[in-house]
Amino acid sequence: MRSVSIIGAGLTTFGEHWEKSFRELIAEAGIQAIQDAGVSGGQIEAIYGGAMASGRFIGQEHIGALIADQLGLNPIPSVRLEAACASGGVALRNAYLAVASGMYDIVAVGGVEKMTEVSTEDAGFALGGAGDQETELFMGATFPALYALLARAHMEEFGTTEEQMAAVAVKNHKNAVNNPFAQYRREITIEDVMKSGYVASPLKLLDCSPITDGAAAVIIASSDVAKKVCENPVEILASEQASDSLALSKRKSLTELDATKVAVKQAYERTGLKAKDIDFAEVHDCFTINEILATEDLGFFKKGEGGKAVEKGKTALGGEIPVNTSGGLKAKGHPVGATGVAQAIEAYWQLRGAADKRQVKDAEYGLTHNVGGSGATAVVNIYRRLEK
C-alpha cells in the first residue's frame, strides 16, 4: 500500500443556502480544492463523492455523473457513495484505497448535501432512513429519539448529566466563533441549552445539530506525487471502517458504539499510535451525547468519564485533547453527505498550521470520526504532517 496525502481542500460556508443550488455548491468546493492543490483538472484521474439523500432532498440521483459534469472533468470515472451521515467519510476512504493501491495517482473527493429544499418534517423523514426503516422509523422513532435512548442509557449507567451534554454544545459553539465557514458563529451558555426545550428527552434543541446546506472537497495523491506538487501535504496514515447492526434493538450495548471501537482499534494498530498520541480530533457530534460516546469509544477517556471530561474543559481548545475545533456538527453545521470530508479539511488545516484562532499548538497527529445513522457505520482516519 502506498502512502497517501491530502494536497488541497475546498469548502463552502455551511448554512441555509437559498441562493445556491446543489450543483453550485459542488462547483464552489471542487474548484477551490483543485486551485488549492495547484493541479489542473486534467491531472485528476477519478472522483469519489459522498451524498446521503439527494433523491429525497432535491429529487436528484446519479450524483457521480453530476459532479464530473459540473466540474468539467468528463470522461473520468466518478462515483457517488452513500453511508448515511458517514457518506463523506466513506467516499474519502474509498478514494484513499484507490490511490494507496496504485490504481490512481491523483483523485478528487467531495461531499455535498442540500437539505433546506424540503420541510423540516420531510428532512426528518429522509434522515430517518439512516436507521432501520421497518423497526424504528415506521414505529415512530425519529433520529433525536434514537440518540435520546443512548443518552438516557448513559445517564442511567454512568451518572452523565444534561448539563454535561450541554457543555459539549457550549464548547463547540465557542470554537465555531473562529470558523468563518460555520453555520452558527455565536457563543451559547449552559442555561441557553437547558432552556431550549426538549426535542426527545433528555435531548433539547441545542443538543442537536442543524439542518444544513454545504459542500466540501479534497484532492488526494500518492505521497510521492504530493511532495512534488504541494509544499505542506498532510498524510492519511490510516482510514478504517466498521459496521454494526442497523437497529438499536440488536446492539449489545446502548452506552458504546461498537463500530467506532473496531474502526479506531484498527487505525491505532495500523499506525502504531495510541489514543494519547492524538493531538486533536473531529468527532461526529450529531447530538451532544455522541461526542461524549465518541471520546470514550476512541480511547481518549474511560467509559463513563466523557461527560465529566468536557465539563472539566479537557476537550476544549488548549485542553488535554481538543475536540471539534471546527465547531463540530453542532455549530459548524451538518450537511450530511459533506460532513466526513469537512472533518478531513479541518485536520488538513490544523496540521498545516492554518486554523488561525482555533489552531492547536504543535499539532502533529489528528483524528477524524464520521458516523452513519445511530452508529451502524463508523469511519476513523488518522493524519499527520507529511515528513519530507
Give the list of residues 6+ apart from residue 274 with CB closer than 8 angstroms, or none. 268, 299
C-alpha cell at 14: 455551511
Spatial separation of the C-alpha atoms in residues 70 and 23, rounded to whole Å: 7
Q: What letter does residue 276 receive in the DSSP assignment?
A: G
**Could you give the strand order of the β-sheet that contains 234-243, starting from the edge strand earlier in sequence?**
78-81, 47-50, 106-114, 213-222, 4-11, 234-243, 377-385, 365-372, 280-282
Strand partners, 367: 281, 382
Instruction: Give the start-end residues of each E strand in the chain.
Output: 4-11, 47-50, 78-81, 106-114, 198-200, 203-204, 213-222, 234-243, 280-282, 365-372, 377-385
Residue located via cell numbers 470515472: 77
Instruction: Evaluate whether 108 touches 78 at the Cβ level (below 8 Å).
Output: no
Phi-psi region of 72 (alpha: psi -120 to 50; beta: other; left: phi over 0): left
Asked if 137 and 129 touch (Cβ cutoff 8 Å), the reply is: yes
Burial class (CB in 10 A: 0-12, 13-18, 19+), 174: middle
- Distance of alpha carbon 53 from alpha carbon 73, whole angstroms: 23
Q: Pick the catalytic residue from 17, 154, 284, 334.
A: 334
Q: Are 126 and 57 in contact (CB under 8 A)?
A: yes
Q: 17, 85, 173, 230: which is the annotated catalytic residue?
A: 85
Helix/strand/coil for 4:
strand
Q: Is residue 75 reached through a cis peptide bond, with omega within 30 degrees of 0 on the bond before it?
A: yes
Buried b (16+ CB within 10 A) or exposed e, 213-251: bbbbbbbbbbbebbbebbebbbbbbbbbbbebebbbeeb
d(CA 142, CA 277): 37
CB 93 within 8 A of CB 239: yes
Let me know if 154 is a catalytic residue. no
Active site (annotated) includes residue 334: yes
Tell me which residues are annotated as active site: 85, 334
